Structure 1
Amino acid sequence: MASSLDAFNDILRGGCGTPDGGFDFRWLNSQRSREALGWPATIHWLEDTIARCHPSNVPRLTAELEAARRVEGTTLFDWLVEIIERHGPGGSEAEDNVVLRLL
């Protein structure tokens, strides 16, 4: 994933001014965000990322782009949710104490 998503993941991990108690995300209008960060936005993001990524990442990203064009796989919205949930209850980095509430 692009460095901006990696940076977001790092912030949730802590140490960058992150609150000691973690985060409690209340994602208002999450359905609207799911639509805005759906297939068209994912395709655009992947096309842009492929154009500027390291050549070793091109095959994987191209496969993801082809899947997105078939409306398969995960979207930008899904990636954000997965990143956040990884740092919450039941996630591989649950000690970061991040809670996500899709409203």
Structure 2
Amino acid sequence: MELNTSNNNTKKMTVINGSHFSNMEGFYEEVSRLFMKDEDWKVGTLDGFDDILYGVETDITWKDSLKSKEDLGVDLTKEFYENKIRQGKPFNVELIQQKLDELINKNGQTLFEILIEIIESHKNITLILD
């Protein structure tokens, strides 16, 4: 939750603390607090998380990342997809069912892996799993 700037580097250091959350709602709260301090809206979707990282130049240290990997693992991801399938529109139920099937068959990504991929897709951000 701390935002530090070191003297020898112009890049900021942002710490996502895995001990602060155990589900996606908590993750969104954590990143909203870190990246959206002056905004009147909060992150609430994977796309929204991706969007707020555009233009951000920071090193992100994800503390307690092993806890997050477990918390945001297969079980929560399965529940995440099942909820979207239940909701139906506006979600692409066919695509989500495919992602769920891949997850069940151990070929799919967990929410943790999706979040890592989103962060790593932003070239101005260096991710350190701690």
Q: Report the TM-score, using the length of structure 1 for normalisation.
A: 0.75
> Is this contact kept in 1: 2:65–2:129, CA < 8 A?
yes
CA distance in 2: counterparts of 1:23 and 1:56, whole angstroms: 32
Counterpart residue number, 2:89 = 54
Is the counterpart of residue 9 in structure 1 residue 58 in structure 2? Answer: no
Map 1:74-93 → 2, pairs under 5 A: 74-87=109-122
- Which is bigger in relative contact order (C-alpha 8 A, separation at least 6)? 1
CA distance in 2: counterparts of 1:46 and 1:31, whole angstroms: 22
> Is this contact kept in 1: 2:78–2:100, CA < 8 A?
yes
- The structure whose Rg is larger is 2
Counterpart residue number, 1:32 = 67
Percent identity between the aligned chains?
39
CA distance in 1: counterparts of 2:69 and 2:91, whole angstroms: 29
Q: Structure 1: which 5+ residue stretches go unaligned? A: 88-93
Counterpart residue number, 1:99 = 126
How many pairs are equivalent?
87
- Higher helix share goes to which structure? 1
Counterpart residue number, 1:90 = none
Moved over 4 A (4+): none
Is the counterpart of residue 45 in structure 1 residue 80 in structure 2? Answer: yes
Q: Structure 2: which 5+ residue stretches go unaligned? A: 1-43
